[in-house]
Chains A and B, each alone.
Chain A
Amino acid sequence: MKKKRSGVLRPEGPDKLRGLARYVDDLPFPGGLHGATLRSTVPRGRIRAIRFDPDFPWDECVTATAADIPGQNCVALIEEDQPLLADGEVRHAMEPIVLVAHAERHRVYEALGHIHVEYEPLEPVLSMEDALEAKVPVRAPDNVIKRISIDKGDVDGALAGADVVVEGEYRVPHQEQAYIENQGMTARFEEDGTLLVEGSLQCPYYVQKALVRAFALPKEKVRVVQATTGGGFGGKEEYPSMVAGHAALLARKAGRPVKIVYDRTEDMVATTKRHPARVRHRTGLTREGKLVAQDIDVLMDGGAYATLSPVVLSRGALHATGPYECPNVRVRACMVATNTPPNGAFRGFGAPQTLFAAELHWERIAGALKKDALRLRRLNLVREGSETATGQVLHESVGARDVLEAVVRRGRYSEKKREYARWNRSRRHPSWRGIGVSVCHHGAGFTGSGEAFLASRVALALTRKGEIRVLTSSTEIGQGTIAAFTGLAARTLGVPEEWVTIERADTGLVPDSGPTVASRTCMIVGGLVERAAQRLRERILESTGRMPSTRAEMVREARRLCGREPALRVEEQYTHPPEIRWDEETYRGDAYPVYGYGATVVDLEVDRTTFEVRVRRLTTAVDVGRALSPRLVEGQVMGGVTQALGYALLENADYHDGVMQNPQLTNYLIPTALDTPPLDVMIVQRPYSRGPLGAKGVGELPMDIPAPAVAAAVHDATGLLLTELPILPERILEAFSSDPAHRQR
């Protein structure tokens, strides 16, 4: 890893700017073969036969099928239902069946064309509604992967007694992670039988776990190394285990290193996406607008295998109420299986889906009560001392109101609301203008007792050269892990950042710090880095009386402290605070250690002729506890809200017959420079006593907030409440034509 230079926030930055950083496909690969994957062409069926064209020179290639898997044929994660290679039956289109390797990359794709799979087609289930009906069973017993119930108070009684009850249904589609670097992995077996894989990934120990199972190897014989990784957003949390397993299988058979790098189409059609969802709300309120009951039904499409879906559903259910206090809550959440490629982790992890519904529902409520949606939120937002749907009392660091007031002021919400009402009255203007707001919470860290279960570890080593190395399996995927940990360790130790390096995420070198997901890296793993640094500091102080201030002095002291060892090592393990309690059975208790809060005001216009939406400005405020590096936090917020704008307005994954029809960056559109409005970011600090220096997580929160605010602003501009994403011009047109009252506008 790189040394930190002054004026440089990210130690790895200069190499990336010069094109010198080596991502997996950039690494030298002498003597290796290129691997590729033959995938199913039907959504569901039995494999009758696999035929290899006899004329093709197969002796040039190495091929592998399920029969070649030495261990268990599964990609081990939560459940063991997903095979590494389909065996006998395929449960979704684009499911891997045969692997081929060849010394030349273009020849391997040619070879794929000479393999023919014969299927006996079976009736597929392609929509979540059909899955729920369970007329066609595709997953025993009832097509349900997971159900979750949250209950608080007496919802039916409260609804019966409410002054008003407002109902609404909301829908969100698949969303593709579209990390710019495609999935890629290399694998080889070393002389001592160790399987070494290196590639683009978020969670090295997840990959290790999957390979141990599939190859029937002991843990020590599977070494997983993260190459410099070109973005993940959750998309490199689970699928790399599949790619690594495939590369390793071919490498085992070939006796040579194998590299598999997907092209864009394959990556988009075959790998995981954000779960589509349908969310229904039935909300009881007093005449003044105080919540008395929330009855929420969540349905998500998991695709053909469980992957991380149960946990995604859990986070979705736990965020379904929005950040509001309500005495009576019922959430019924269900994840069904369909014959489509499995969905999985994507920044936000179930929360953007349910928060879209919860936040946009305020527009409906405001209409029913004839009150402003902002006023209604102010009446119901959580504050310190509030109790959530699971009975968690929010003791500290609750910035929900602060972030809302910050964006309302900075985004000039109320003035603009009046101004745009006037603007929209004049037909001479080429557009309608509108303003919308939303406020969201996001649980930081793993759900429930997840962190206790993970028991993450981090080590710090002082080497004989006086260098401080941070050893953690948390990965840098663009979010600034290296910069954040460098700063945290240096600040805690009281040494210059240049003395600190972050070890690469290599299971042969670093302890298991848990996966790089769930906005937990900074808060949980960062907390361990901080504690390890404190202990190392104490050790140094005990022996020297003060912290060395020059490098030469540090080297001298380090030699003394290390004795005959190459390094002095301190290790820290996560211990769960006993007062954070969670009951997985009843879904009662502290769902998360703490929550981050964020609010956005969206200012946009809709073209009166083309119905195109142009976002004029996005004002966002986040409470992420103490911001360890405001610059990094701001960058994360800008990135997250940009992805959310894509989710709201552009990204339209088009599925037919269980396959994405537009798996290209030319037809699945993600935001470009031209789609980026001025982004105004405010950081409201509400330190969290257990976070490192007061920090909470930041990565996912910004993805949750903008979509409902965009829909609310389109509502404000046009009078149309579009309850399904993405809000494409043709959808606005359709809504206009089906709503006679609006033809006049």
Chain B
Amino acid sequence: MARKLPAAEDQSRAPGFSRRNFLKTAGVGAAASTVVGVGGACTKEPTVIGPDATTLRLRVNGTTQTVTVEPRVTLLNALRNELDLTGAKEVCNRGACGGCTVLLDGDPIKACMMLAADAEGHEITTVEGLGSPDEMSPLQKAFVEADALQCGFCTPGFVVSGTALLAKNPDPTLDEIKDGLAGNLCRCGTYSRIFEAVQKTARRG
């Protein structure tokens, strides 16, 4: 772990803020966890990855894909830059907006907050993997019908979070919907329409 991690993609110089430090720490923490955590339970022998690019096998939208990335690369950047799955967006890059939400074994996670290496051995679903190639999922359709989007930049994150919510709770109350979507930001203010789309989908079963 002695190797200095590359500088994060950030240049914040506003007094009092340094995401560089934040990501460095996060990066070290996450890398440390990969040492014991890759592939599941604690093993006796630590797995060592890096410092150079590593080849990872990621299960994405039902197929296995191979990517070769440096250990510092987040799942979000691996999906976007290596696999050209650009539905998940980089907005805040620090877990504050939900624009990068994908499913990890069915749970919604913020792909900017996880290293690609840590996603090995898990089933990843991105917005592109919802529905089938010719047909949108019921929730995606409901978004379109309810006009639950404006600029659409936050929309992939919302529809992924909403999908996870309905999978766990097929008949959510309005408060449960709000809770389930509380980690996603929409500046266009489409929230009410999104609630409507989720409720409609729930009612249709």
B151 touches A180 (CB 8 A): yes
The answer, yes or no, to whether A589 is at the interface (CB within 8 Å) is: no
Residue of A nearest to B139 (CB): A17
Q: List 19 A-B contacts (CB under 8 A).
A: A12-B152, A17-B143, A17-B149, A17-B155, A21-B152, A22-B86, A107-B6, A109-B7, A179-B151, A230-B154, A232-B151, A263-B11, A265-B10, A266-B12, A480-B150, A638-B193, A665-B92, A674-B182, A676-B178
Interchain nearest-CB distance for B62 vs A (Å): 15
Beta-carbon contacts of B138-154 to A below 8 Å, as 1s and 0s?
00100111010111111
Cα distance, A665 to B94, chains bound together (Å): 9
Please tell me which stretch of A2-10, A710-718, A736-744 contacts chain B, meaning at least 4 of its Cβ atoms lie within 8 angstroms of it: A2-10
Which chain B residues have a beta carbon within 8 Å of chain A's beta carbons? 6-17, 19, 72, 80, 84-94, 96-97, 99, 126-128, 130-131, 136, 140, 143-145, 147, 149-156, 159, 177-179, 181-182, 184-195
A180 touches B186 (CB 8 A): yes
* A contact residues around B96 at 8 Å (CB): 664-666
* B contact residues around A8 at 8 Å (CB): 144-145
Known interface pairs A106-B7, A109-B10, A642-B191. Does A18 touch B152 (Cβ–Cβ under 8 Å)? no
Cα distance, A177 to B151, chains bound together (Å): 14
A674 touches B90 (CB 8 A): no
Cα distance, A350 to B127, chains bound together (Å): 39
* A contact residues around B86 at 8 Å (CB): 19, 22-23, 25-26
The answer, yes or no, to whether A233 is at the interface (CB within 8 Å) is: yes
* B contact residues around A107 at 8 Å (CB): 6
The answer, yes or no, to whether A641 is at the interface (CB within 8 Å) is: yes
B92 touches A264 (CB 8 A): yes
* A contact residues around B140 at 8 Å (CB): 14, 17-18
Known interface pairs A39-B13, A106-B7, A635-B190. Does A672 touch B185 (Cβ–Cβ under 8 Å)? yes
Q: Which among A18, A110, A640, A641 has the greatest number of chain B C-beta atoms within 10 A?
A: A18
Interchain nearest-CB distance for B80 vs A (Å): 8
Please tell me which stretch of A189-197, A319-327, A394-402, A652-660 contacts chain B, meaning at least 4 of its Cβ atoms lie within 8 angstroms of it: A652-660
B13 touches A180 (CB 8 A): no
Cα distance, A110 to B149, chains bound together (Å): 37
Known interface pairs A25-B90, A106-B6, A230-B151. Does A670 touch B193 (Cβ–Cβ under 8 Å)? no
Cα distance, A233 to B187, chains bound together (Å): 9
Interchain nearest-CB distance for B113 vs A (Å): 12
Residue of A nearest to B180 (CB): A673
The answer, yes or no, to whether A671 is at the interface (CB within 8 Å) is: yes
Residue of A nearest to B153 (CB): A230
Question: Which of B155, B186, B193 is close to A16, meaning CB atoms less than 8 Å apart?
Answer: B155
Known interface pairs A10-B147, A36-B11. Does A17 touch B17 (Cβ–Cβ under 8 Å)? no
Beta-carbon contacts of A263-279 to B below 8 Å, as 1s and 0s?
11110010000000000
Known interface pairs A8-B144, A635-B193. Does A18 touch B151 (Cβ–Cβ under 8 Å)? no
Question: Which of B72, B136, B147 is close to A18, meaning CB atoms less than 8 Å apart?
Answer: B136
* B contact residues around A478 at 8 Å (CB): 149-152, 188
B11 touches A643 (CB 8 A): no
Interchain nearest-CB distance for A427 vs B (Å): 28
Question: Which of B8, B88, B192 is close to A679, meaning CB atoms less than 8 Å apart?
Answer: B192
Q: List residues 469-508 of chain A with CB under 8 A from any CB of chain B.
A: 477-480
B151 touches A673 (CB 8 A): no
A676 touches B153 (CB 8 A): no
The answer, yes or no, to whether A663 is at the interface (CB within 8 Å) is: yes
A19 touches B92 (CB 8 A): no
Known interface pairs A106-B8, A180-B99. Does A18 touch B127 (Cβ–Cβ under 8 Å)? yes
The answer, yes or no, to whether A231 is at the interface (CB within 8 Å) is: yes
Cα distance, A17 to B177, chains bound together (Å): 19
B97 touches A665 (CB 8 A): yes
A670 touches B6 (CB 8 A): no
* B contact residues around A666 at 8 Å (CB): 92, 94, 96
Interchain nearest-CB distance for A273 vs B (Å): 14
Interchain nearest-CB distance for B18 vs A (Å): 10
A674 touches B179 (CB 8 A): yes
A113 touches B192 (CB 8 A): no
Cα distance, A181 to B149, chains bound together (Å): 14
Residue of B nearest to A182 (CB): B91
* B contact residues around A641 at 8 Å (CB): 189
Cα distance, A112 to B130, chains bound together (Å): 40
Question: Which of B9, B92, B94, B185 is close to A105, meaning CB atoms less than 8 Å apart?
Answer: B9
* A contact residues around B155 at 8 Å (CB): 16-17
B185 touches A674 (CB 8 A): no
B189 touches A672 (CB 8 A): no
A264 touches B14 (CB 8 A): no
A263 touches B93 (CB 8 A): yes
Interchain nearest-CB distance for A178 vs B (Å): 5
Residue of A nearest to B13 (CB): A41
A19 touches B87 (CB 8 A): yes
- The dominant DSSP class at the B interface is loop
B14 touches A665 (CB 8 A): no
Residue of B nearest to A270 (CB): B14
Interchain nearest-CB distance for A656 vs B (Å): 7
B14 touches A660 (CB 8 A): yes
* B contact residues around A659 at 8 Å (CB): 14-15
Q: List residues 225-260 of chain A with CB under 8 A from any CB of chain B.
A: 228-233
Question: Which of A19, A28, A106, A480 is close to B127, meaning CB atoms less than 8 Å apart?
Answer: A19
Residue of B nearest to A679 (CB): B192
The answer, yes or no, to whether A286 is at the interface (CB within 8 Å) is: no
Residue of B nearest to A660 (CB): B14
Cα distance, A663 to B84, chains bound together (Å): 29
Q: Which among B89, B143, B195 has the greatest number of chain A C-beta atoms within 10 A?
A: B89
Cα distance, A182 to B156, chains bound together (Å): 16
Cα distance, A112 to B13, chains bound together (Å): 11
* B contact residues around A18 at 8 Å (CB): 87, 127-128, 130-131, 136, 140
Q: Which among B131, B153, B155, B182 has the greatest number of chain A C-beta atoms within 10 A?
A: B153
B149 touches A13 (CB 8 A): yes
Cα distance, A23 to B189, chains bound together (Å): 19
Interchain nearest-CB distance for A643 vs B (Å): 6
Cα distance, A632 to B184, chains bound together (Å): 22
B151 touches A635 (CB 8 A): no
Q: Which among B87, B178, B188 has the greatest number of chain A C-beta atoms within 10 A?
A: B188
* B contact residues around A679 at 8 Å (CB): 192
Cα distance, A250 to B78, chains bound together (Å): 26
Cα distance, A269 to B188, chains bound together (Å): 21
Beta-carbon contacts of A163-181 to B below 8 Å, as 1s and 0s?
0000000000000011111
Known interface pairs A180-B91, A229-B151, A665-B92. Does A14 touch B144 (Cβ–Cβ under 8 Å)? yes
Question: Which of B6, B89, B94, B182 is close to A23, meaning CB atoms less than 8 Å apart?
Answer: B89
For the complex with contacts A14-B140, A230-B152, 5 further pairs of A-B residues with Cβ separation under 8 Å are A23-B89, A181-B91, A265-B17, A477-B151, A666-B92
* A contact residues around B89 at 8 Å (CB): 23, 25, 180-181, 230
Interchain nearest-CB distance for B146 vs A (Å): 9
* A contact residues around B11 at 8 Å (CB): 36, 38, 109, 112-113, 263, 266
Residue of B nearest to A639 (CB): B189
Known interface pairs A229-B151, A640-B189. Does A110 touch B7 (Cβ–Cβ under 8 Å)? yes
A17 touches B93 (CB 8 A): no
Cα distance, A32 to B127, chains bound together (Å): 27
Residue of A nearest to B156 (CB): A19
Residue of A nearest to B87 (CB): A19
A265 touches B19 (CB 8 A): yes
A673 touches B131 (CB 8 A): no
* A contact residues around B19 at 8 Å (CB): 263, 265
Known interface pairs A23-B89, A112-B11, A665-B97. Does A639 touch B182 (Cβ–Cβ under 8 Å)? no
* B contact residues around A181 at 8 Å (CB): 89, 91, 151, 153
Q: List residues 53-111 of chain A with CB under 8 A from any CB of chain B.
A: 105-107, 109-110
* B contact residues around A479 at 8 Å (CB): 150
A265 touches B14 (CB 8 A): yes
Cα distance, A7 to B178, chains bound together (Å): 26
B152 touches A663 (CB 8 A): no
Interchain nearest-CB distance for A340 vs B (Å): 13
Residue of B nearest to A477 (CB): B151
* B contact residues around A1 at 8 Å (CB): none
